[in-house]
Structure 1
Amino acid sequence: MKTPPDRSGITFEVGAQLEARDRHKNWYTATIEKIDYDKERVLIHYRQWSRRHNEWFQWSSPYLRPLERVSLRRQGLNAPMFVSGSKVMACWTDCRFYPAKILRVNKDDSYTVRFFDGVVRTVKSTKLKPVDEVRT
């Protein structure tokens, strides 16, 4: 009997959770339903989808990835990138970055910031950059 590869963050056992990419290139939380050791593949059930959408993936497929990143972000266990009071560049609705100050670090991996013009907004961590210390 063949054994699944050692992939960081993925446990190849029935009931294990991970993320899988569907045919439309969208990533979804999924559960391993069955393991076919002879054909080196796993049957994936997309969470909150009908079982008719279950799909077989080779266990070495790049379309399988660990769930860890998403679950840590939802639980607020990631170490924050910035602390309250930090000066940052924050993305505004026009997709440009403007100076802002962090007022609060939120548990959902977001930050409450005050822009230089006084407007307060909640911004995801992916929409923040550190301020360049040296200006030329």
Structure 2
Amino acid sequence: MANVPSDLKYTKDHEWVRVNGKTAVVGITDHAQRQLGDVVYVELPKVGETFEAGSPFGSIESVKAVSEAFAPLSGKVTKVNEELVASPELINEEPYGDGWLIEVELSDSNQLNELLSATAYEEFVKDDA
């Protein structure tokens, strides 16, 4: 069973969100990185770019496939994980830690209510495992 920390919010596109006041750190879930396999390249947006919830903000390339990463919330990118340029495998090793993708300044915190809880996400991926 994939690791699903209970203090995070999740999307059906397999992103996780860690909210900290008006900002949120975004990454892909343990389940997603397992499905992808070994990550070899990550393309991330530039700081200052804005995205609407549900729109693609970057891509993650593995030995198996290229997958888009989708913005779980609308907002402006305030940080990108530069470590992933040299070490994309951090996504496989620590999807909820050093493998984070971007930090976003939220434009509408009400969108958090539309995200899945850990329990709901576990239920969502249960048949995928």
Coarse TM-score class (shorter-chain normalised): under 0.3
- TM-score computed with the length of structure 2 as normaliser: 0.26
Larger Rg: 1
Give 1 or 2: higher helix fraction.
2
- TM-score computed with the length of structure 1 as normaliser: 0.25
Give 1 or 2: higher strand fraction.
1
